[in-house]
Structure 1
Amino acid sequence: MADFRVIGRPAGRTEGPDKTTGSALYAFDVCPPGTLWAKALRSPYPAARVKAIDVSQAEAFPGVNAVLTGADVAGRLQGRQVRDVPLLAQDVVRFAGEKVAVVAADNEETAQRAAGMIRVEYEEMEPLLNAQEAARPDARLIHPDMGAYDGFRRPPAQPSNVFFSASFGIGDVDAGFGEADLIFEDEYRCGRTHPAFFEPRCCVVSVESDGRAHVWSSNKTPFGLRQALALAVGVDEGSIVVHPVHVGGDFGSKTAPFDEPLAYLLSVKTGRPVKIVMDQVEELGAGNPKHAAVMRVRTGVTRDGVITAHLQEMYFDSGAYAGLMPLGALAGVDRIAANWHIPNARFEQY
């Protein structure tokens, strides 16, 4: 028998000793000399116009080094593929928990207190809380200017709350239902689900005087993060160094850029490293949960168990922005019927 070096031998958990002894490095552990803490002020409303922002009290509070609002980052967008997420809300907020302003201060407590001193005048709007209602042609547009966004898999012909749709199938579904002895119809709903990882999102960004930036983040895709950060702040990728660190739980959620662009801009403005850590309340309210879904299913079968037709209509609730959706849409929908022989099937995804 061959003496294999890999096959048949146990594969150890190389990170195990560091994690169990507490020596593993996470983004939260990184604290370069002179690091400032930043905290965000978030909208209490799911839909509102931002009429005015007064940051004077926050700027005058002892220990505060910088304050940014939407006016300071106008036009800067981020996202995994579709770039439609403003770094800070600009003129309008689209979900409860959206960042409206951010404060960098000497410590976390000071940053949190100063953020609470910012006064915002809102004009509430009627929110869209149902994906199917939002998909109606007469629904209020969440993004009237979506034609200006980059990254859509298929650029929309006109503004719509449906930023991606697809219809595909095989055979003649109507004829297949005509051959069926029995037809079953049902609707299935999946709510938003947050993985509730132990480590909330955290990042540290230090921009040097020559423009080179060093980034530590609880993001599992260092090259994707580098590209997204460079696009958001308008610099060359080569000027950004992402230092990989351990990630304290991910479950598919820590791939999109979050606070890294804000930390970058605050570091440029103050000349010091900046750390941003979301607490669990922020994480649950403004993180990146699994998308809610509604699936309508209609299946025709014969009495001896043969599936003659299948029709499935699916609505995925991406919330206020497409930028947190992987690849600009959810993958895998086209493989739903791969495990069965169905001669007539059609799938519609929104």
Structure 2
Amino acid sequence: MGEYKIGSVVLKSRAVLAPMAGVSDRAYRELCMKFGAGLCISEMVSSKALSFNSKKSEQLMDISDFERPCGIQIFGDDPDCMAEAAQRAMQNNPDLIDINMGCPAPKISSNGSGSALMRNPQLCGEIVSRVVSVSNVPVTVKIRKGWDDENANAVEVAKICEQAGASAITVHGRTRMQYYKPPVDYDIIRAVKNAVKIPVIANGDIDSAEKAKSVIEKTGCDIIMVGRATLGNPWIFSQINSYLENPEEPLRFPTLEEKFDVMVGHIEKMVEYKGEHMALLQARKLVAGYFKGMRGAASLRNEAGRISTLQDLYALKDKALSANLI
């Protein structure tokens, strides 16, 4: 496998972990990097909240040595506030700064941030330019196809961001109005790839090693970004890396015991970083992901939604194992 770079940052592999609010915390990033992710990005951090010295936002930017290379993603709609946020982020020594111009969530886009920025390409350029001017690491941008089908301006925004100094562009092949439902438009990612000279990262519905290879072939992208398909499935990275290197080699899938050992280790690490109460509240949907496709999955997911201690988790693991090994 060749070397993949974003600016001066050398990636560990071609498949990288997407930033996901409420999911890609420090414990999750460390886990995915252990399984072969080439790069990870923090949960998105509000530039406005940082300007008000939000402790919670500061904590989102904690990076450990076990998750490098790691970027910090910031969002907002004011160039000066975003530049200040980038400077604050730099205190955590990230390997890159990522700017969110793709989040479709109403609470983000209704305030002019995230995917709403794509309605104002000039402002996109101003934000990138200001952030680049204060950053001593590469600055990347995550965009969508556009706001809606009538305004599918990913190519225009990507070129503006490149001109403003961005070192890479991630493109999610849906518009903001489509959220995550319709099929991804991989043609728009290819169009962006053909329009810029910086690396392009393809994002959207990459849920297997075979799909990763297919997306690379369809789009010509340099790197692929995997998000929701990693839930309960961090070994997707080792599978993608193996398949890209040698498609003839059979893919290795974890046994149930291995899967549950990873699940427990993941949640225990969350408890170490956040304390048991907060970690287990956040872990409920993550634990549910590990039961996907198993016998009694619906019932197990239902129980996962009620766990509140590590002892609950251990008991649920034993129940899931016994139910699926009969």
Q: TM-score range by the shorter chain?
A: under 0.3
Q: Which structure carries more strand by proportion?
A: 1
Q: Is the helix fraction higher in 1 or 2? A: 2
* TM-score, structure 2 as length reference: 0.23
| TM-score for the superposition, normalised by structure 1 | 0.22
By relative contact order (CA 8 Å, sep 6+), the higher-ranking structure is 1
Please tell me whether Structure 1 or Structure 2 has the larger radius of gyration of its CA atoms. Answer: 1
